[in-house]
Structure 1
C-alpha cells in the first residue's frame, strides 16, 4: 500500500494482551517512532480488509514497516527492531525457522482472549497518548 504510514501497528483494541503490548511499546519507544491504530477504528478496519484480515475476527496484527505490511512473527520481529537496544536484541530469534515462530504466534493469537481476557470496548488512548494513534483514514 503506497503512502501508508511507516511504523504503524494495527492491533486488536479489545484484546487485553494486545492493548497491554501497545502500552508497553509506547513506554519503551521513547522517540515515538511507532504509531498505533486499533482494528476497530475506521482506519484499522480499512487496513485490515486491504491486507486480507477479517476485522471482526482478526488472527494477526499488522505492522507497516518500510512500505511492507507484515504479519505474525515477521511483524513482531520488525517491531522489536524498531525499539532499539536492548529490545531489538530479542529479534535474534529470527534465526529459528519461520514455521516455528509463526506456529507459536498462531497458538498465542488463537488463545489470547482465553489467556488474557477481552475488553467490552476498544482501548482508547489517553490524552497524552492520542498523538501516537491514527483512528481515521488519511485524506488522499
Structure 2
C-alpha cells in the first residue's frame, strides 16, 4: 500500500487535471456546487457541450471516508476520480474514469463510459458553470453581489 504522504495535495491534483483538460480542449472550474447541493471538485465542458465531473482524492483515508460520488453521476456525461501517483488504482470503482495527476499535469488511465444527461439538465448545468466562471472572472477575490452569486 502506498504511503499517503507521497501523494500530492488536492490542489496540486486539481491543477494537473485542469492542465490535462486544457490539452484535451475541455474548459474547467473547481468547486462547482450542483443543484443537489453537492460540490464537484472539478467540472468541465468540452466544445460539444458534454459535461465532465472529477472527484479529487488525495489520500486513501479521503477516498474511504467519502462515499458521495454516485450523487455526481446525474449531472455529468463523464465521471472521473483523480488521484496522485502513489494512490492504489484498484480502489477506484470500475465504472468511474481514472486520472493520475500532480501539479504539472495528468494522464487518463481509464476513460469512463459515457452516460448522457437529459437536455434540460445539461442546460441547467451549463448555465450554472457559465455563471460561476463569469462571476469568478469579474469579481476575482472580491465577493460578488448577492443577486449574482445565486446559482439556482
Shorter-chain TM-score above 0.5: no
Instruction: Give the TM-score normalised by structure 2.
Output: 0.28
Relative to total residues, which structure has the larger helix share, 1 or 2? 1
Larger Rg: 2
Structure with larger RCO (C-alpha < 8 A, sep 6+) = 1
Instruction: Give the TM-score normalised by structure 1.
Output: 0.30
